[in-house]
Amino acid sequence: MTKTLHHRACHLCEAICGLTIETTLEDDASVRISSIKGDAQDTFSRGHICPKAVALQDIQNDPDRLRQPMRRVGTQWQPIEWQEAFDVVAERLLGIQQRHGQNAVAVYQGNPSVHNYGLMTHSNYFLGLLKTRNRFSATSVDQLPHHLTSYLMYGHGLLLPIADIDHTDFMLILGGNPLASNGSIMTVPDVEKRLKAIQARGGKVVVVDPRRSETAAIANQHVFIRPGGDAALLFGLLHTLFAEGLTRDSHLPVDGLEEVRAAVAHMNAEAMSLRCGVPAEQIRQLARDFASAESAVCYGRMGISTQTFGTLCHWLVQLINLVTGNLDRVGGALCTEPALDLVASTSGGGFNRWQSRVSGLPEYGGELPVSALAEEMLSEGEGQVRALITVAGNPVLSTPNGRKLDEALDGLEFMVSIDLYINETTRHADLILPSTSALENDHYDTTFNMFAVRNVTRFNRAILAKPEGALHDWEIFVGLAKAFALKAERELKPTIAPAQMIDRGLRAGLYGDASDFKLSLETLYDHPHGLDLGPLKPNLASRLRTANQRVQAAPEVILADLVRFAMAVLPQADELVLIGRRHVRSNNSWMHNYHRLVKGKPRHQLLMHPDDLASRGLSDGQRVRVSSRVGMIEVEVMGSSDMMRGVVSLPHGWGHGRPGVQMDIARDQPGESANDLTDERQMDAVSGNAALNGVPVTVAAA
């Protein structure tokens, strides 16, 4: 028995915690993971870890995880050789495109794509060859309004100002629950300690949320808000800042501020209070507290992007930081200076260059909103989608009206999934191509170093040997690209391995050959605990990518949405609306097959305020029927005074009982899919992002 210690960043969520993983070489020459702990020497995560990281070994050892390509014959799955699989995919996709046009093949890319560097570097090597406009991803059930806002205001969709949590005196959080999610678009390992540090240095944390979330519970102040009311609250804040002269000049060059001032002139705290349920005096006081803090940052996340005014919300977040002088300021919101800078190396984005065929939803960054995916498959006519490629995604459980998508996938001519499991989505595929597990692959975080609260970087080598016959995700894409190019008689440019690309990127970057750091892959190999490149600092003025290099405070597309905001119907007094929630032991839809994570108290219940239970004659623990425009599910209800009256909460990603799912532990878990209730027609009209929060529902005894 020989033990080896490895250091590595966890790839499961955005916090990128450093881990110390011990492997044991057994007498029979097999290698086993013997422990997973937080890496105390990681200067960024300082030993922090959550229960999911320990389950990395369960992913590795899971007998349900696919280890070879599979072909579906009826309801049976049979192994198939890689080359044969690539050839089948190439032939079927090319045939469909030749008969029905390029857009007849759609692509959906899921969340783990951004946590897997080979998928980032190479998925387009193949997918780009397809030249389809029907590209979709989890972005449009998540952070699309962030990108669109940054694209319109700063000229690049990835110029996302990050909350400077370690230096701020006042943090206003809307629609984020970092104590459960470990932070999002704010890579911040050990977030609880960092929030408590704000309080310890005399600062304040305020959380706006329809539920007293885990984060709200440790905040100095929790403001309950009607789901979807955040734009109103933010307008009320902005109005107060202007009206009471609480603004501070910014060093940034800005266009359009006078237009903004005029546009919000009638949106005083009283008027906005009616729209969001927050008392006018509380709105005013919040604006005063924010403006009088030495430094302050307004941070909005998932709960305010996946709602009907998602883009307005994120625009207002930017404006509140801007007009109080906190944009591009220490303790406010700052853009990162990552070692591998996707802002420097990519074009800004692109918006509305084409629209979805059926509903006319706008393209952003080459993708269409995923709420349109099912109808693009189900609506007949020229341009109908007839084939789908899913990559590390489970849209049946993750996107609105999952049942409709289920039905649509059933009717496809061909579907291939690059995935690790036979789950709710991939069970519809003709072929599943599984990659190596994460621990069998190197790791570099191309995405979340971009959004980290310090400039950090690290590269970690694979911990376990690549099994014979296995392929990394990027190699699968290279195989597919070669087979497709050959069949289509198209030229294919040669490519290099992801690690080499990272090396080139590092050398060309801010800390590369031209700097004192001289960062390269070699340097990172020598720093397995990661490298700290310093705190965030003001830089936005020089990084702006707008045509005139000035911040655009009043983008036309966004201002146009004020009309929709003004016309919005106020919610009925007795209306119930559904929101989501996350739990630290779960990860979207795909980490429910590990006993270590699913054990303990059930977490799938619908949370409801005791008064709402009583008024419906329901009791705690009872099975209830929850219905929306699109569907109905049955779940247990749990009374919770943490909920706002009129609001119910259900986590997404559950409901693994669909026939054909081959995940034994997950299938036995109670719970249903929240997205059997969410409505593909309910969205942020500006971006097309799904409004997963604030869905009208009724609840009755089952």
Ligand X SMILES: Nc1nc2c(c(=O)[nH]1)N[C@H]1C(S)=C(S)[C@@H](COP(=O)(O)OP(=O)(O)OC[C@H]3O[C@@H](n4cnc5c(=O)[nH]c(N)nc54)[C@H](O)[C@@H]3O)O[C@H]1N2
Binding stretches for Mo ion (CB under 5 A): 142
**Using CB under 6 A, which residues numbered 51 to 70 contact ligand X?**
none
Which of residues 67 and 543 has its CB atom nearest to ligand X in the complex? 67
Closest distance of CB 105 from Mo ion, Å: 25
From the list ligand X, Mo ion, ligand SF4, none, partner contacted by residue 470 (C-beta under 5 to 8 A by kind): none
Which of residues 254 and 432 has its CB atom nearest to ligand X in the complex? 432
Backbone φ, ψ for residue 671 (5° rounding): 110, 150
**Does residue 139 contact residue 310 with C-beta atoms inside 8 Å?**
no
Tokens standing for residue 525: 């190999």
Closest distance of CB 405 from ligand X, Å: 11
Residues 6+ apart with CB under 8 A from 574: 646
Which of residues 177 and 640 has its CB atom nearest to ligand X in the complex? 177
- Tell me how far apart the alpha carbons of residues 445 and 458 are, in angstroms, rounded to a whole number: 8
- Give the strand pairing for 576-579 and 695-701: antiparallel
Q: Which stretch binds ligand SF4 (CB under 6 A): 5-13, 116-124, 151-159, 595-603?
A: 5-13
Tokens standing for residue 485: 């190019």
From the list ligand X, ligand SF4, Mo ion, none, partner contacted by residue 16 (C-beta under 5 to 8 A by kind): ligand SF4
Selection from 318, 432, 360 nearest residue 66 by Cα:
432
**Using CB under 6 A, which residues numbered 431 to 450 contact ligand X?**
435, 438
52 binds ligand SF4 (CB under 6 A): yes
- Tell me how far apart the alpha carbons of residues 693 and 690 are, in angstroms, rounded to a whole number: 9
Closest distance of CB 228 from ligand X, Å: 5
Which of residues 430 and 473 has its CB atom nearest to ligand X in the complex? 473
Q: Which stretch binds ligand SF4 (CB under 6 A): 48-56, 234-242, 415-423, 560-568?
A: 48-56
The DSSP H or E segment spanning 255 is strand 254-255
**Does residue 327 contact residue 242 with C-beta atoms inside 8 Å?**
no
49 binds ligand SF4 (CB under 6 A): yes
23 binds ligand X (CB under 6 A): no
- Tell me how far apart the alpha carbons of residues 625 and 634 are, in angstroms, rounded to a whole number: 5
The number of beta carbons lying within 10 Å of the beta carbon of residue 660 is 13
From the list Mo ion, ligand X, ligand SF4, none, partner contacted by residue 304 (C-beta under 5 to 8 A by kind): ligand X
Selection from 151, 153, 191 nearest residue 173 by Cα:
191
Tokens standing for residue 153: 């205001």
Closest distance of CB 456 from ligand SF4, Å: 13
In a 3-state reduction of DSSP, which class is residue 93? helix
- Tell me how far apart the alpha carbons of residues 144 and 335 are, in angstroms, rounded to a whole number: 18
Tokens standing for residue 207: 């959380």
- Tell me how far apart the alpha carbons of residues 220 and 208 are, in angstroms, rounded to a whole number: 11
From the list ligand SF4, Mo ion, ligand X, none, partner contacted by residue 53 (C-beta under 5 to 8 A by kind): ligand SF4
Backbone φ, ψ for residue 228 (5° rounding): 85, 0
Q: For the chain, give me the number of helices (H) and strands (E)? A: 27, 30
Residue among 419, 445, 642, 679 that touches ligand X (CB under 6 A): 419
- Tell me how far apart the alpha carbons of residues 450 and 591 are, in angstroms, rounded to a whole number: 25
180 binds ligand X (CB under 6 A): yes
Q: Which stretch binds ligand X (CB under 6 A): 170-178, 270-278, 406-414, 520-528?
A: 170-178
Here's the x/- map for ligand SF4, 53-72, by CB under 6 A: it reads as x-------------------
Question: Which residues in 146-175 are b (16+ Cβ under 10 Å) and which e?
Answer: bbbbbbbbbbbbbbbbbbbbbbbbbbbbbb
The amino acid sitting at 613 is L
Residue among 6, 17, 150, 278 that touches ligand SF4 (CB under 6 A): 17
- Tell me how far apart the alpha carbons of residues 337 and 684 are, in angstroms, rounded to a whole number: 30
675 binds ligand X (CB under 6 A): yes
**Using CB under 6 A, which residues numbered 95 to 114 contact ligand X?**
110-112
3-state secondary structure 523-589: HHHCCCCCEEEEECCCCHHHHCCCCCCCEECCCHHHHCCHHHHHHCCCCCCCCEEEECCCCCCCCCC
142 binds ligand X (CB under 6 A): yes
Which of residues 92 and 222 has its CB atom nearest to ligand X in the complex? 222
- Tell me how far apart the alpha carbons of residues 533 and 60 are, in angstroms, rounded to a whole number: 32
Q: Which residue is nearest to Mo ion (CB)?
A: 142
From the list ligand X, Mo ion, ligand SF4, none, partner contacted by residue 225 (C-beta under 5 to 8 A by kind): ligand X
Judging by beta carbons within 10 Å of its beta carbon (0-12, 13-18, 19+), is residue 353 exposed, middle or buried? exposed
Q: Which residue is nearest to ligand X (CB)?
A: 303
Closest distance of CB 628 from Mo ion, Å: 22
Which of residues 252 and 643 has its CB atom nearest to ligand X in the complex? 643
Closest distance of CB 223 from ligand X, Å: 8
Closest distance of CB 51 from ligand SF4, Å: 7
Closest distance of CB 586 from ligand SF4, Å: 10
182 binds ligand SF4 (CB under 6 A): yes
In a 3-state reduction of DSSP, which class is residue 435? coil
Which of residues 39 and 376 has its CB atom nearest to ligand SF4 in the complex? 39
From the list ligand X, ligand SF4, Mo ion, none, partner contacted by residue 307 (C-beta under 5 to 8 A by kind): ligand X
The amino acid sitting at 129 is L
Please report, as ranges, the residues that interact with ligand SF4 according to CB under 6 A: 10, 12-13, 15-17, 49-50, 52-53, 182, 189
Please report, as ranges, the residues that interact with ligand X according to CB under 6 A: 13-14, 110-112, 116, 138, 141-142, 174-178, 180-182, 184, 208-211, 213, 225, 227-228, 230, 301-304, 307, 392-395, 398, 418-421, 423, 435, 438, 473, 579-584, 586-590, 652-653, 674-675, 678, 692-694
